[in-house]
Amino acid sequence: MPATQTARRVRTSMPGKRATNLSLSSDVLDAAKHLEINISQVCDNYLREVVRREQERKWREDHADFIAAYNATIEAEGLPLDEWRSF
């Protein structure tokens, strides 16, 4: 098997990673390659951050009623065990 096929097989079979097709602006792609930027790593890191933010936003949205009720309770009754706080 040629070395390029072996390298390709190793790259695409890494655990937790999967090859996919992306459409990127050719000028930005060319500039990134010229600057030796690891495009896969940058895309993975940025997408991971976008997913994390969206999951956080969705969690807040899904639990908004509880958060509002909890905040109202704290507003009305104060923090639990607040009277024993020494700081």
What is the per-residue pLDDT for 3? 57
The pLDDT of residue 7 is 53
Encoded tokens for 76: 């009305």
pTM summary value: 0.63
Cβ–Cβ under 8 Å, residues 40 and 21: no
Residue type at position 55 = Q
Residue partners of 19: CB distance under 8 A and separation at least 6: 11, 12
Per-residue tens of pLDDT for the chain, all 87 residues:
565 555 555 555 556 888 889 899 999 999 999 999 999 999 999 999 999 999 999 999 999 999 999 999 999 998 888 888 887
pLDDT value at residue 15 = 65
State the pLDDT at residue 85: 80
